[in-house]
């Protein structure tokens, strides 16, 4: 229970990064009070996973404080945004797939932990790029219409109820090619500042992997019954199950998703 709680708490690192993006792009403003409750002491709460694993009372107290504060933050903002971002999209996707296929349940925090590594690894590939150089005209020309989006999402999910829900959530955040142009112009203009903030907020996938291992959490997707092919596919499917804007949307809209995922699974990549 301690290690699965730890995995969920550590996910607030990428959840915070996703909220920064959504705020700076004018999509979902940061609630300063909720942000503080979760983020101000997050590094301290998660700093000593090895002690947690050994059952140290003070460290367990920190874990509980963190999880309770995340709960309070969700209450005061009437949203799970302060505590849930792209890492939870991975986790929830895998939860629903396991349910739909009748596979055994895995503790939530273990999936969030690996989702956090997955999201942080993606952030590394994004931060290695210069998003001020996006070819906006080409992106807008290639942008799919609503019907095409619905077709792709339906095709991506093999569980009918999940597909139905994903279509609804994805269309709820659908933007037109004209709106995409505005969004990409904003990303171009604000990227240098956003990137600097993301670098301050994030940890590397390797750092997160080390912390999770020390807490006794699995860090290998296979340990939670996720195959390599499933993980690879999750990088686009996870975006579809919720209307909330995260780094998964940023890479999709800027057109770098496929290249980032290629790098993650290539030799030397985070999932090679």
CB-nearer residue toward Zn ion: 45 or 191: 45
Closest CA to 246 of 6, 13, 19, 10: 19
Stretch that binds Zn ion, among 3-11, 136-144, 159-167, 194-202 (CB under 5 A): 3-11
Closer to Zn ion by Cβ: residue 70 or 134: 70
CB of 30 to Zn ion, least distance (A): 19
Comparison of 22 and 70: residue with beta carbon closer to Zn ion: 70
Q: Which of 3, 7, 8, 24 binds Zn ion (CB under 5 A)?
A: 8
261-269 CB contacts, 8 Å cutoff, 24+ apart: 261/122, 261/232, 261/235, 261/236, 263/125, 264/121, 264/122, 264/125, 264/235, 265/228, 265/232, 269/121
Cα 133 from Cα 137, distance rounded (Å): 12
Of the pair 109, 184, the CB lying nearest Zn ion is at: 109
Residue nearest to Zn ion (CB): 8
For the CB of residue 80, give the shortest distance to Zn ion in the complex, in Å.
8
Total site size for Zn ion, rule CB under 5 A: 1
Nearer to Zn ion, 108 or 129 (CB): 108
Q: How far is Cα 167 from Cα 23, in angstroms, rounded to an integer?
A: 24
Residue 156 parent element (H or E): helix 146-156
Question: How many angstroms separate the CA atoms of 144 and 130, rounded?
Answer: 24
Stretch touching Zn ion by CB under 5 A, among 2-10, 39-47, 66-74, 140-148 = 2-10
Residues that bind Zn ion (CB under 5 A): 8
């Amino acid at each position: 229970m301690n290690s699965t709680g730890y995995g969920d708490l550590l996910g607030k690192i990428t959840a915070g990064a996703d909220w920064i993006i959504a705020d700076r792009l004018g999509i979902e403003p940061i609630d300063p009070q909720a942000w503080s409750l979760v983020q101000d002491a997050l590094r301290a709460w998660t700093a000593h996973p090895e002690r947690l694993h050994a059952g140290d009372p003070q460290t367990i107290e920190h874990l509980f404080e963190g999880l309770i504060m995340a709960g309070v933050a969700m209450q005061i903002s009437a949203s799970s945004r302060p505590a849930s971002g792209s890492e939870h999209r991975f986790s929830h996707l895998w939860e629903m797939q396991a349910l739909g296929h009748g596979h055994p349940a895995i503790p939530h925090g273990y999936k969030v932990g690996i989702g956090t590594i997955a999201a942080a690894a993606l952030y590394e590939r994004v931060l290695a790029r210069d998003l001020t150089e996006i070819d906006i005209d080409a992106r807008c020309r290639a942008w799919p219409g609503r019907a095409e989006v619905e077709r792709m999402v339906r095709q991506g999910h093999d569980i009918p109820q999940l597909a139905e829900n994903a279509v609804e959530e994805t269309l709820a955040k659908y933007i037109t090619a004209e709106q995409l142009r505005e969004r990409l112009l904003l990303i171009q203009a604000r990227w240098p500042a956003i990137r600097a903030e993301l670098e301050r907020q994030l940890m590397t996938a390797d750092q997160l992997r080390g912390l999770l291992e020390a807490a006794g959490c699995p860090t290998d997707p296979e340990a939670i019954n996720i195959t390599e092919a499933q993980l690879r596919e999750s990088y686009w499917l996870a975006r579809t199950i919720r209307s909330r804007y995260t780094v998964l949307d940023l890479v999709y809209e800027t057109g770098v998703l496929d290249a980032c995922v290629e790098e993650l699974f290539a030799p030397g990549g985070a999932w090679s």
